[in-house]
Amino acid sequence: MSTSTTPPGAQQRGHTGEAVLAALLAALGVYLLVDAGAIAVPGSSNTVGPRFFPYAVGGLTVLTGAALALRVLRGDRGPAEDSEDIDPDAPTDWRAVGVIAVAFLAHALLINVIGWPLAVALMFAAVAWALGAVGIVRPFLIGLLLGCVVWTVFVKALNVALPGGTVLEWMTSWI
Amino acid sequence: MAIDELLGGFADALTPLNLLFALLGVLLGTAVGVLPGIGPAMTVALLLPATYVLEPTSALIMFAGIYYGGMYGGSTTSILLNTPGESSSIMTALEGNKMAKAGRGSAALATAAIGSFVAGTIATVLLALVAPTVVELAIGVTSADYFALAVIAFVAVATVLGSSPLRGLAALCLGLYLGLVGTDVLTGQERFTLGIPQLSDGIDVVVVAVALFAVGEALHVASRLRRGAVQVIDHQGSWMTRQDFRRSWAPWLRGTAFGFPFGALPAGGAEIPTFLSYATERKLTKHPEEFGKGAIEGVAGPEAANNAAAAGVLVPLLTLGIPTSATAAIILAAFQGYGIQPGPTLLTTEGPLVWALIASLLIGNAMLLVLNLPLVGLWVKLLRIPRPYLYAGILAFASLGSFAVNADPLDLVLLLLLGLLGFVMRRYGWPVAPAVIGLILGPIAETNLRRALAISNGDLGVLVDTWFSRVVLVLAALALVGPIVLRAVRGPRPSPAELQHADAAADEDDTVRSADR
């Protein structure tokens, strides 16, 4: 592989996103400083109460956030995290990120309604679909199989508390 | 004497049950090391709930097996997948990949596996020899000294390990903040809980670690997925020849010599020693023309350094209670789950546990050699799992692990939110490890700071009262300012690819110059 002259994706991206992130970090620091003042200090604590460390962390956070925001605005770029499955030159696929986030949120809310195996199967299918798996039935069935097997192992063998859903709990009640 | 106690440790580790957990650990560890997208830190985090049912020795033996196994598995991935992987195996990938493409994949895998075994064994024995001495030195440390140690660990993981010190600090701040949320241990006051009752117990380590590692990684990969079939290079050719062996043994030992001290210093990490090992082998080799085209020394050295560093990291963890890698931090959380606080007293209070752990590391290392040399074909199959299913499965297990902690769907919502944070952190090159270390080490640092200040009646001078704390804090300050100064003077650190070509370019310059003369 010859070294290409175009820099990897990290350098090509705009800096607004990271500047916002750094500003948010500084804002988090301000929140820490302000809210630390609201921590109740019991009269008995003589010297250093529960506020001291939060103040220190808040101060460090404000400084770091501000310094990083400045550097980013001046053009400093971090190298995006490498991973075997990442194509650094690919455009960001916001649709996939959105689908996965929504699917995960939905499964979190569904667990106590339809049970973990079914909720996870639906999430599995949606995530696989968003990442380009062919079809929707096969991913769902694989997810359902995975969910049922894992549920059975963890609940029946390891006694982990995990809602199984009416059907599966009835089917496995003999174990 | 350390040897006697180590033998006692072997007696504990060689029970059928503990052998089973060691085997389970190394199997899981190799699998997650091979699979892209998950690593040992996240796997141990997912299995933290196992501490509720298993007894400490078994659970910790399994976790340590995952830790070592992950290192072996990572080398298989970096040699056979034609793409960059984790930072500590990048150097292995440079030459290993070229070897695989040239049809010498089997030799590369073998030198990596045997090198890992040699380095892991020597470094674990060194750990057993060094640990009692460090404990003796550390037995008199005060709370202030302890705070200083935590500070240097923070600074080291934030600024020395990553490529951008400020971004490391930013991640550390996030971790320290997450560690503050909850009820203050010393006074029972709620801090930063936003009035949400579930937060008064603090944010669970499992949720944070799984979110930042698994969910963040899945979202990051989803945003720029490498489309098309996974390209795995065939591992063909013979195992190591006699000549390969002759060229490998010295790099293995030199790599170990680089890796262990770097891991053992509370400024550890596996990245720098692998860099150094690669650069050294490049200089010392009798076959400079092969470097960049698949030199076996370039696989043997960094891979040994990588594993020796992993063992070295256990020195500060077991003797001082200071974690310097994400996995070590989560193993520390596992100790805490049992109400055990690693520190200078660990060897006396929990001696049998520690020695059984060290003995099982040696056993696990031998198991890993067997698992990785003949069975490599099995692991390679894992590399071919279609990515949509792989990441969907990772999220399913993330859900399982986080839900199992409290059986509360709110934890999963929190998991998603922190996962989104992990995603943007990856996107902008903020390292994740400092956040995990800040989360786990932050509360320990605060407790020691307040203990020290309570003794001194609030006089901050107590923090620099002993020579030990002075030296450590000065080192921390150097580690904080040093990289920034170096960067200003010499420009950014060379990337692995630059390192691979830098010397070649310099050599060419020399030849040109001598030709001119």
Q: Diameter of chain B by CA atoms?
A: 79
- Six-digit token string for A45: 């604590």
- Six-digit token string for B126: 């060194």
Q: Give the tens place of pLDDT for each residue, B463-484.
A: 888 888 888 888 888 888 876 7
- The Cα B191–Cα A121 span in angstroms is 37
Mean pLDDT of chain B: 84
Amino acid, single-letter form, for residue B135 = V
Does B232 have pLDDT greater than 80? no
Provide the pLDDT for residue B83.
64
Over range B419-427, report the average pLDDT.
Answer: 93
Helices (H) and strands (E) counted in chain B, each on its own, are 23, 2
User: Total domain count for chain B?
Assistant: 1
Mean pLDDT of chain A: 83
Statement to judge: residues A166 and A116 lie in one domain: yes
Highest mean pLDDT among B79-88, B98-107, B287-296, B304-313: B304-313
Give the 3-state secondary structure of B204-268: CHHHHHHHHHHHHHHHHHHHCECCCCCCECCCCCCCCCHHHHHHHHHHHHHHHHHHHHHHHCCCC
Does B26 have pLDDT greater than 90? yes
Chain-chain contact of B428 with A78 (C-beta, under 8 angstroms) = yes
Domain that holds residue A37: 9-73
Provide the pLDDT for residue B346.
86
Provide the pLDDT for residue A1.
34
Chain-chain contact of A96 with B409 (C-beta, under 8 angstroms) = no
Q: Give the tens place of pLDDT for each residue, B58-85.
A: 999 999 999 999 888 888 888 888 665 5
Closest alpha carbon within chain B to A14: B428
Statement to judge: residues A66 and A104 lie in one domain: no
Closest alpha carbon within chain A to B458: A47
Chain-chain contact of A131 with B392 (C-beta, under 8 angstroms) = yes
Nearest to B322 by CA among B126, B156, B140: B156
Statement to judge: residues A167 and A98 lie in one domain: yes
- The Cα B25–Cα B383 span in angstroms is 19
Name the region of B142 (left: φ>0; alpha: ψ -120 to 50; beta: rest): beta
Nearest to B31 by CA among B388, B379, B369: B379
Statement to judge: residues A60 and A128 lie in one domain: no
Over range B19-39, report the average pLDDT.
Answer: 88
Statement to judge: residues A33 and A63 lie in one domain: yes
Statement to judge: residues A39 and A104 lie in one domain: no
Provide the pLDDT for residue A102.
96
Residue B196 within a domain: yes
Chain-chain contact of A28 with B412 (C-beta, under 8 angstroms) = no
Residue B516 within a domain: no
Domain that holds residue B135: 2-225+233-510
Over range B320-331, report the average pLDDT.
Answer: 89
Which of B37, B221, B416 is facing A108, going by the closest CB pair? B416
Which of A54, A87, A146 is facing B180, going by the closest CB pair? A54
User: Total domain count for chain A?
Assistant: 2
Chain A residues with CB inside 8 Å of B164's CB?
76, 78-79
Identify which has the larger pLDDT, B149 or A48. B149
How close does chain A come to B9, measured CA to CA in Å?
28
Q: B280 near B258, Cβ under 8 Å?
A: yes
Statement to judge: residues A167 and A101 lie in one domain: yes
Helix (H, G, I), strand (E, B), or coil: what is residue B183?
strand
Residue A81 within a domain: no
Return the residue in B221, B413, B417, B425 with the most chain A beta carbons within 10 A, the one to mutate for interface testing.
Answer: B221
Q: Are strands B182-183 and B190-191 parallel, antiparallel or unpaired?
A: antiparallel
How close does chain A come to B173, measured CA to CA in Å?
6
Statement to judge: residues A37 and A102 lie in one domain: no
Residue A32 backbone phi and psi in degrees, to 5: -60, -45
Q: Give the tens place of pLDDT for each residue, A99-157.
A: 999 999 999 999 999 989 999 999 999 999 999 888 889 999 999 999 999 888 888 87
Statement to judge: residues A98 and A156 lie in one domain: yes
Q: Is this prediction's pTM over 0.80?
A: yes
Q: B483 near B159, Cβ under 8 Å?
A: yes
Does B175 have pLDDT greater than 50? yes
Over range A77-95, report the average pLDDT.
Answer: 78
Chain A residues with CB inside 8 Å of B434's CB?
none
Q: B79 near B112, Cβ under 8 Å?
A: yes
Using CA atoms, how far residue B311 sits from B130, B263, B506, in Å, is: 12, 7, 35
Would you place residue A9 in the very low, low, confident or very high pLDDT band (cuts 50, 70, 90)? very low
- Six-digit token string for A170: 């009835």
Residue A153 within a domain: yes
- The Cα B312–Cα B57 span in angstroms is 20
Would you place residue A162 in the very low, low, confident or very high pLDDT band (cuts 50, 70, 90)? confident
Kindly tell me the burial class for residue B238, based on how many C-beta atoms sit within 10 Å of its own C-beta (0-12, 13-18, 19 or more): exposed
Q: Give the tens place of pLDDT for each residue, B210-230.
A: 999 889 989 998 998 877 667
Residue B515 within a domain: no
How close does chain A come to B328, measured CA to CA in Å?
21
How many CB atoms lie under 10 A from the CB of residue A70? 13
Chain-chain contact of B395 with A127 (C-beta, under 8 angstroms) = yes
Residue B517 within a domain: no
Over range B278-304, report the average pLDDT.
Answer: 85
How close does chain B come to A173, measured CA to CA in Å?
20
Provide the pLDDT for residue A10.
42
Chain-chain contact of B219 with A97 (C-beta, under 8 angstroms) = yes
Closest alpha carbon within chain A to B53: A158
How close does chain B come to A17, measured CA to CA in Å?
8
Statement to judge: residues A68 and A121 lie in one domain: no
Statement to judge: residues A99 and A166 lie in one domain: yes
Residue B215 within a domain: yes
Does B506 have pLDDT greater than 50? no
Q: Identify the H or E element spanning B2.
A: helix B2-13
Which of B215, B225, B449 is facing A93, going by the closest CB pair? B225
Provide the pLDDT for residue A117.
92
Statement to judge: residues A69 and A99 lie in one domain: no
